[in-house]
Amino acid sequence: MCGRPSAGPVKHVVWIWMENRTYADVLGSGGNAPHLSAYARMCGLATNYRAITHPSLPNYLAATSGSTGGVTSDCSPAACPQDRTSLFAQIDDAGLQWRTYAENMPTACNRVAQGKYAPKHNPAAYFVPIRTRCTQWDLPMGANNNGPFATALDTGLPAFTFVEPNTCDDGHDCSTRFADEWLGAILVRITRSPAYQTGDVAVFVTWDEGTGADQHIAAVVISPGVPSGTRSSIPFTHYSLLRTTETLLGLPLLGAANAAPDMRAAFGLGGT
């Protein structure tokens, strides 16, 4: 799974974002997330990773554009559209592809909250310049074994994949342990897939924000080239995740990513 010295350079980046838990809630002594804890032991763990702000949406926007865009609420895509560049646009401009796979989203690039689907957790739906691509590449996840995401794992991932669990599976409306069960199942599906076995995939699991004043959140890095048991206490943030992703994919840096610490060297992903 991790610790393969022969792994090649990362060409495919996967983000899985969970909701509203501190580092202590997830990886503390209470053992609320045994599945993720196992991956943290087998792969890499950022022990000093912090979110940017509250509430949810500004963190998603910051991580995918280098700025919150002045957003301070969980406003809808219609109420606060982002007419500016983003990681999604960068990828498209570079001739690469991205996908969002959103669990329980009723239609592609849906911009209205429905059931367990929350557009505030789907950043691609907010950026106006990619609206056409969003209808093509921001997709319902489908079933674990035969939906669009499962198909991509079997046939090949795009350069960047954003996985959006529904509001129960991400822990927003359900318990940490319940969310960890979902996370454990999806990580098994990923790490056993043909896409991951090629050796050039990096998976980053993190949370959008902590709770109250505690913005210390869990961030686990899973990739064949990550030495098993890697720990880093460097003060990373969502801007570090953006910088790392952009650099791995050969893209210029956006906004606050320019000054954020890079995660690549700390986790054996290449570069400095």
The average pLDDT across 201-217 equals 98
In a domain, 236, yes or no: yes
Kindly report, residue by residue over 6-26, the tens digit of the pLDDT: 888 999 999 999 999 999 999
Kindly report, residue by residue over 71-124, the tens digit of the pLDDT: 999 999 999 999 999 999 999 999 999 999 999 999 999 999 999 999 999 999
Cα–Cα distance for residue pair 45/79, rounded to 1 Å: 36
In a domain, 197, yes or no: yes
In a domain, 209, yes or no: yes
Tokens, residue 57: 């949406």
- Pairing mode of beta strands 12-18, 160-164: parallel
Total domain count, the chain: 1
In a domain, 85, yes or no: yes
Mean per-residue pLDDT of the chain: 96
* Reported pTM: 0.98
Residue 29: CB partners within 8 Å, gap ≥ 6? Answer: none
User: In this structure, what CATH number is given to the domain that contains residue 25?
Assistant: 3.40.720.10
Closest CA to 166 of 128, 203, 122: 122
The whole-number pLDDT of residue 272 equals 45
The whole-number pLDDT of residue 30 equals 83
Kindly report, residue by residue over 213-233, the tens digit of the pLDDT: 999 999 999 999 999 999 999
DSSP 3-37: --TT-----EEEEEEE-S--HHHHHSTT-S-HHHH
Residue 179, CA atoms < 13 Å, CB-side half-sphere: 27
- In this structure, the number of other CB atoms found within 10 A of the CB of residue 5 comes to 8
Kindly report, residue by residue over 149-197, the tens digit of the pLDDT: 999 999 999 999 999 999 999 999 999 999 999 999 999 999 999 999 9
Task: For residue 126, name the pLDDT band (cuts at 50, 70, 90).
Answer: very high
In a domain, 44, yes or no: yes
Cα–Cα distance for residue pair 55/121, rounded to 1 Å: 11
Domain span at residue 246 reads: 12-267
Closest CA to 180 of 39, 34, 56, 22: 34
The whole-number pLDDT of residue 6 equals 80
- Pairing mode of beta strands 44-50, 216-222: antiparallel
**pLDDT surpasses 70 at 271:** no
The average pLDDT across 57-64 equals 98
The whole-number pLDDT of residue 5 equals 83
In a domain, 5, yes or no: no
H or E element at residue 263: none
Helix axes 56-65, 238-248, angle to 10 degrees: 30
Task: For residue 145, name the pLDDT band (cuts at 50, 70, 90).
Answer: confident
In a domain, 272, yes or no: no
Task: For residue 264, name the pLDDT band (cuts at 50, 70, 90).
Answer: very high
Residue 50: CB partners within 8 Å, gap ≥ 6? Answer: 210, 215, 216, 217, 235, 236, 237
Cα–Cα distance for residue pair 41/30, rounded to 1 Å: 16
In a domain, 1, yes or no: no
